[in-house]
Amino acid sequence: MQEQRNGLFLENTMLFSKPSFNEVTAKKSLCTVESGSKVELLDEEKDPKMVGLTWIKVKIIDGTCRGIVGWASKEKLVRK
């Protein structure tokens, strides 16, 4: 069975250029993706500094962030 490569966000989610979160990146988010936005999953990476946090690299399929590629927290995503 092939792994599901599409999903959608459960709530508004900030999208970042790198898989890390701190005060600097919080101010430089690429876009705030709206709840319900569909995404294509591109990659996944565990955060080396924050235990239990996994980042996903996504391409936004619809909404105001359509076409933007970036990183977000995996916990806010549902696979479809």
- Give per-residue pLDDT as tens, 16-27: 988 877 656 667
User: Structure tokens of 48?
Assistant: 């080396």
How confident is the model over 24-72, as pLDDT tens digits?
A: 666 788 999 999 999 999 999 998 888 888 999 999 999 999 999 999 9
Query: What is the pTM assigned to this prediction?
Result: 0.85
Q: What's the alpha-carbon Rg for the chain, to the nearest Å?
A: 12
Map out the domains of the chain as residue ranges. Answer: 6-79
DSSP 8-state assignment for residue 34: P
Q: Looking at the domain that runs over 6-79, which CATH code has it been given?
A: 2.30.30
Check the CA dihedral 27-29-34-35 and report its sign: negative
